[in-house]
A and B are shown apart, each in its own frame.
Chain A
Amino acid sequence: MSDPAETLIGSTRSIPIDFDAGPIVGPHRVILRALRWFPDVWGVHSGSQEYLDLSYSFQPPLTEKEHSTDFPRNVWTLTVSDDIGTDYDSSTGGLGISGGDREIHPAPPTGAETLTLSIGTPLLGWDGHPRPSQVVRQLIVDLKSGTVVSARR
C-alpha cells in the first residue's frame, strides 16, 4: 500500500499529528499521521456535510500474512469526543500492510474547540482471542490552532 496520506484526495483541511501511540497491534507501532476533513457524499452517518479522517502507519509494516490472518487483531480502537459533547462514530476505516485510516463522523461542529482522540488496543488480541480494549493514549487537538496540545497515557 502507498502512504495512506497520499491516497486521500479531496480533503478540505488538515492537521498534522505525527504521534507514536506505541506497539498496540502486536509488535507493530501505530504512528498517527494527520487529521483531514472530507465532504460526506453519503451523509448516512449523521447528515453532516463533512467527516474527519485520521491517517496512520504501522512501524514496522504488517506482513501479507498478518494482514490476512485474524484481521480484527489489526484494528486498534478509537474513541472520539469534544468539549461540547458531540457524538462521534469512529467505527470504520481502511487498513493496508503499511498503515491505514480511520473515519470520524461527523466533522466537529464549528463550536467545538478541542477534539480528544482516545487510542486503545484491538478487541482481538494478537493471539487471536477476544479481549476488552484498553485505552493506551489520549491526544487533545486544538481545532482552532490546528495543533496537538496534549498527549498522555
Chain B
Amino acid sequence: MMGCSSCSMKPRALVWRLSAGLLAMSATVLIAIPGANAATADRPPVTTVRSAAPPVQSCNDAYDQTGVRGAGIGQIRAVGNGVYSFDIKFNQDFIAVHPPTTIFAAGEARLYVNGRYAFTIPTGHPRPIGDSFHSTIQLQGHKYGRGNKKSIQRGDSLSFRISLLLMDPASGTLYPGRGTISCRL
C-alpha cells in the first residue's frame, strides 16, 4: 500500500500548499519502504493460504486490505441511518519505520460506485502522522453521476481509492502512498 520517493527539497520550502500537486506524483512514483511490508493498492492482500479472491467485505465494517501487514490505512464503518464513518490512520509498525518528524501532509479518497466515480473526500491540511483523518458521510441516498441522477443504494459495490502523501520536512523526503477499501453496501 505504502511507497516512498526521495526528493531533495529545502525543509523550509515545504509549504503545505504544494501538497496537492505533490500528491499527484504519488500515482506514478512508488518505491517500497524497507521493513514496512508494503503492498500497492492493486495487489491482493498477502495471505499464507492462496485464494482466488479476497472475500467481499460489508461496508458496515470494511478496511483497506492492501495496507501494511494487512492492517490497511483506511476503514469504513456504519454508524446508523445510512451514515458511515470513514477514517485513515497508520498503525504503530508503520509509523515506527518513519522519522519522528514525518507528517501526514495531504490525501484524498475517491469513491467509485459500481465502477463509476461519485465524489472525493479531501483530507485538508497537514496533520501529525499519529493522527487519524476522519469523515462522516451519508452514503445511502447520496446523489452522484451526470446530473446527479443516480443515488447510492444498498447492494452497490463501493471502492474508496485512497491517495496520500507523507512528508519529512527535516530531511526533505516525500512518501506517497495508496490504498483501497472495497465493500458492498
Contact = CB atoms under 8 A, between A and B. Distances in A.
Contacts of A9: 16, 126
A119 B108 CA distance: 26
B127 interface: yes
A96 B88 CA distance: 12
Interface stretch (B1-9, B51-59, B74-82): B74-82
A130 B78 contact: yes
A92 B135 contact: yes
A97 interface: yes
Contacts of B92: 64
Name A's interface SS.
mixed
A71 B80 contact: no
Interface of A: 1-2, 7-10, 38-39, 41-42, 44-45, 51, 53, 64, 67-68, 71-72, 75, 77, 91-97, 100-101, 103, 123-124, 130-132
B128 A131 contact: no
Nearest to A2: B128
B133 A71 contact: no
Given A71-B77, A71-B87, A7 B17 contact: no
B80 A10 contact: no
Main secondary structure of the interface of B (DSSP, over half): strand
| Residue among A41, A44, A101 with most chain B CB within 10 A | A41
B17 A123 contact: no
Contacts of A44: 120, 122
A43 to B, nearest CB: 9
Contacts of B121: 92
A152 B18 CA distance: 41
Given A2-B128, A44-B122, A72-B79, A95 B134 contact: yes
B46 interface: no
Nearest to A101: B127
Q: Identify the 3 closest CB pairs spanning chains A and B, nearest first.
A: A130-B80, A72-B85, A123-B79
A7 B128 contact: yes
A92 B134 contact: yes
Given A130-B78, A130-B79, A41 B133 contact: no
A10 B127 contact: no
Contact of B127 (A7, A38, A67, A97): A7
Nearest to B124: A103
22 contacts: A1-B128, A1-B130, A7-B103, A7-B128, A10-B15, A39-B17, A42-B124, A53-B125, A64-B92, A71-B75, A71-B85, A72-B85, A91-B135, A92-B133, A92-B134, A92-B135, A93-B135, A101-B127, A123-B83, A123-B85, A130-B79, A132-B80
B125 A67 contact: no
Contact of A94 (B75, B78, B120, B131): B131
